[in-house]
Amino acid sequence: MISSRLPQNLEPNAVARALEARRRAGSPILDLTATNPTAAGLTYPGDLLEPLADARALEYDPQPLGLWSARAAVAADFRRRGIVISADRVALTSSTSEAYAMLFKLLCDAGDAVLVPHPSYPLFAHLTQLESVTAIPYALEYHGSWRIDVDSIARAATGRVRALLIVSPNNPTGSFLHRDDLAAISRLAVANGWAIIGDEVFADYPLDPASHAAAVLPGAEVLTFSLGGLSKSAGLPQVKLGWIGFGGPTDVVDRAIGAYEIVADTYLSVSTPVQAAASQLIERGAAIRMQIVARVRRNLDALRAQAAAFPSIEVLPVEGGWSAVLKVPQVRPEEALVLELLAKDDVLVHPGYFFDFAREAFVVVSLLPEPAAFDRAIARILQRSAA
């Protein structure tokens, strides 16, 4: 009855079961997996979403790639990051997750493959499977900083690969794409006819930006997509506005946009109110973004200060994003540590395996939670993990 595109085992895992039991019992939880900016004690002005009531939204003018005013506003926002793109190279989506689904439909036949980074964002498993696409992992390696293991890409590739995914800065390693790695990947992409999909949703959150950091669009030699959205750049995941910037050789991009228009026209998923409000929401979102920047910086500093007293624990360098990775002594499996933290310390964290780290033991913490709770939770994590 149920498609094989969905997981066959729908049983919750041990951590989900333990969490559910605690929630049912009403036990308190210091949640360091929380990445919902609207539930992090930030100040959202009550009238922030007023532009959604713009009278222009009373008229339905279905445009597959989005209303021109909204596409122009997104193009202007790219320029804020120093990336020059014209509005006719921008398409709107309702989220970045949807952008992935649309691009897999555009690029892949059933059974084709895309190359995905490990460690990275765990949703790729579902996003690919739901489109009948295979996710083939390539490795990010940590040697004092995270770099793409370009040889692992060459080793992993098969004839069915259609695109390579890059997340920059990556979630959860916080590492920006290194310009030398982009050059090497571009060479492979040109030689093999792959597209490049760059997930740059956290690009607005540099914490210690490496001077070698590169964006995917400028000078793109192959069909390239840059993904972004209000979810992260303005702390507004509920508004549901994402976008794709197209780049690469002109004739290839023109053909891709023409084909993409058919995919987008099939769904027309972005609401008119959000499109009419886009330029204002992008502008207003800057105030939320600034609060998030301050929050993640503050929490990262506090984490480093507390961790300094625990020589057996290493806070890995963070170049950007909303999370930090702790390398902890491997005295027990990661899952046992996570369950113990939950049961004895009321603290919830993600284990490294959740993000496909190549080995144990790592703990991933969100830098978004409210500071007092963050500091309390970190103190307990450090005590428990160092033991």
Ligand X SMILES: Cc1ncc(COP(=O)(O)O)c(C=O)c1O
Residues in the site for ligand X, rule: CB under 6 A? Answer: 35, 95-97, 121, 167, 171, 199, 201, 229, 231, 237, 242
Backbone angles phi, psi at 375, to 5 degrees: -60, -40
Q: How far is the CB of 36 from ligand X (least distance, A)?
A: 9
Q: Report how far residue 175's alpha carbon sits from residue 160's, in angstroms, rounded to the nearest whole number.
A: 28
When the beta carbons of 231 and 385 are compared against ligand X, the nearer one is: 231
Residue with tokens 């949807």: 98
Q: How far is the CB of 340 from ligand X (least distance, A)?
A: 26
DSSP output for 232-287: HHSS-GGG--EEEEEESSHHHHHHHHHHHHHHHHHH--S-HHHHHHHHHHHHHHHH
When the beta carbons of 74 and 337 are compared against ligand X, the nearer one is: 74
- Retrieve residue 133's tokens: 């696409």
Q: How far is the CB of 18 from ligand X (least distance, A)?
A: 23
**Phi-psi region for residue 111, left (φ > 0), alpha (ψ -120 to 50) or beta?**
left
When the beta carbons of 34 and 341 are compared against ligand X, the nearer one is: 34
Residue with tokens 């961790």: 307
When the beta carbons of 97 and 299 are compared against ligand X, the nearer one is: 97
* 182, containing H or E segment: helix 179-192
When the beta carbons of 181 and 199 are compared against ligand X, the nearer one is: 199
Q: Give the number of other Cβ atoms within 10 Å of residue 160's Cβ.
A: 14
Report the amino acid identity of residue 284.
Answer: R
Q: How far is the CB of 238 from ligand X (least distance, A)?
A: 9
| CB of 27 closer than 8 Å to CB of 347 | no
When the beta carbons of 299 and 323 are compared against ligand X, the nearer one is: 323
When the beta carbons of 263 and 379 are compared against ligand X, the nearer one is: 263
Q: How far is the CB of 98 from ligand X (least distance, A)?
A: 7
Q: How far is the CB of 123 from ligand X (least distance, A)?
A: 7
Q: How far is the CB of 97 from ligand X (least distance, A)?
A: 4
Q: Report how far residue 351's alpha carbon sits from residue 318's, in angstroms, rounded to the nearest whole number.
A: 17
Q: How far is the CB of 199 from ligand X (least distance, A)?
A: 5
**Pairing outcome for strands 362-366 and 195-199:** unpaired
When the beta carbons of 129 and 192 are compared against ligand X, the nearer one is: 129
Query: What is the three-class DSSP state of 303?
Result: helix
Query: What is the three-class DSSP state of 116?
Result: strand
* C-alpha distance from residue 159 to each of 32, 99, 136, 166, 303 (Å): 40, 24, 12, 19, 44
Cβ neighbors of 337 (< 8 A, separation 6 or more) are 328, 351, 361, 363, 384, 385
Q: How far is the CB of 344 from ligand X (least distance, A)?
A: 28
Beta bridge partners of 137: 116
Backbone angles phi, psi at 306, to 5 degrees: -70, -40
Q: Report how far residue 211's alpha carbon sits from residue 242's, in angstroms, rounded to the nearest whole number.
A: 27
When the beta carbons of 167 and 349 are compared against ligand X, the nearer one is: 167
Q: How far is the CB of 284 from ligand X (least distance, A)?
A: 18
When the beta carbons of 171 and 226 are compared against ligand X, the nearer one is: 171
